[in-house]
Amino acid sequence: MRGIEPHRTPIAPGQPAGSRSLGVAVVDPIPLFREGVASMVHRTLGLHWSGQAASHHAAMQLCEQARPDVVILDSALDPNCHLVKMLNSGDPALVLVVLVRDGNRTQQYLAAAIGAGAHAIVPRAVDGRRMAESIRRAHTDRRYLDPALSALTARPKRQPSPRAALDDGQLVHPKGAMPLSRREYQVLQLVAEGLENSAIAKLLFLSVETVRTHVKSILRKLSARDRTHAVTIAFRSGILVPQIDDQAAVLPAQHSVARSTR
């Protein structure tokens, strides 16, 4: 594992010896919302701040470097639950709390998030007290559903199997399907941002040849003619979703909101 790997079990000020403080990070496209979650974490005994991210690639970087115990994730940033699945497969011990916006408040999304590895599902509009309680319950029980979403636990109606479509003569994967590996997914996101192989290699600590191999695999799996076509297919099929441009995409704890005194 490259990058910083801080200890996951620091003792929060005022806690008895042996108590476990949980490192919390947030992945959300809105800076003000991320700062609000950070403020809640700083003032909650038993929690400490691990950082924030505003995109899929930044989230995976943050988890690899800061090693939080809990990640709070906005559903609008991950409508097909690809990021939940990637983070869960990358670190099975990580607790994932999904904040559901009204547009994703459906039985189908709930089932998809749980199936991808989410440990808690909470409305995005919850207050700080309920958020803190959700984090604790998710970490303790490994499964928590906010009571406000209990009506969505009924078995959803069976949906017809999605069928692959043809786009410009090329096979497109069904909406929401994820044919790529974790690393290929990261590479594709950076390709979509316009980065060349050398820049991608530097960001991911890979050789240029390894990146080139990943790009070739992406083109093959997506049946794409070239990089641009692969990105187009990925957006049309839901493998990639538009990301809000945020210059502060990754902010580890020491560079985000100043730590407050508990």
Same domain, 112 and 194: no
> Are the C-beta atoms of residues 205 and 1 closer than 8 Å to each other?
no
Same domain, 211 and 93: no
Q: Is residue 2 part of a domain?
A: no
Same domain, 111 and 89: yes
Whose tokens are 């928590």? That residue is 144
Q: How many CB atoms lie within 10 A of CB 154?
A: 8
Same domain, 99 and 182: no
pLDDT in tens, the chain (262 residues): 333 344 454 444 444 434 679 999 999 999 999 999 999 999 999 999 999 999 898 999 999 999 999 999 999 999 989 999 999 988 989 999 999 999 999 999 999 999 999 999 999 999 999 999 999 999 999 999 998 888 876 554 444 443 333 333 333 344 455 788 888 888 988 898 889 999 989 888 899 999 999 999 999 998 989 998 988 888 888 788 776 555 445 555 544 443 333 3
Q: What is the CATH number for 79?
A: 3.40.50.2300
Same domain, 145 and 26: yes
Q: Is residue 121 part of a domain?
A: yes
As for how many domains the chain has, the answer is 2
Same domain, 138 and 58: yes
Per-residue pLDDT, 8: 53
Same domain, 54 and 84: yes
Same domain, 232 and 188: yes
Q: What is the CATH number for 223?
A: 1.10.10.10
Q: Please give the backbone phi and psi of residue 71, each rounded to the nearest 5 degrees, phi first.
A: -120, 125
Same domain, 75 and 92: yes
Q: Is residue 3 part of a domain?
A: no
Q: Is residue 54 part of a domain?
A: yes
DSSP assignments along 28-73, one per residue: -S-HHHHHHHHHHHHTSTTEEEEEEESSHHHHHHHHHHH--SEEEE
Same domain, 33 and 137: yes
Same domain, 37 and 151: yes
**Residues 6 or more apart in contact with residue 84 via CB below 8 angstroms:** 73, 78, 96, 98, 113, 116, 117, 118
Pseudo-torsion of CA 256, 141, 44, 28, nearest 10°? 30
Range of the domain at 176: 165-237
Q: Report the predicted TM-score, pTM, of the whole model to 2 decimal places.
A: 0.69
Q: Is residue 146 part of a domain?
A: yes
User: Cα(88)–Cα(68) distance, rounded to whole angstroms?
Assistant: 12
Q: Is residue 214 part of a domain?
A: yes
Q: Is residue 5 part of a domain?
A: no
> Are the C-beta atoms of residues 112 and 82 closer than 8 Å to each other?
no
Residue among 167, 106, 169, 98 nearest 134 (CA): 98
User: Cα(155)–Cα(84) distance, rounded to whole angstroms?
Assistant: 21
Same domain, 210 and 186: yes
Q: Is residue 7 part of a domain?
A: no
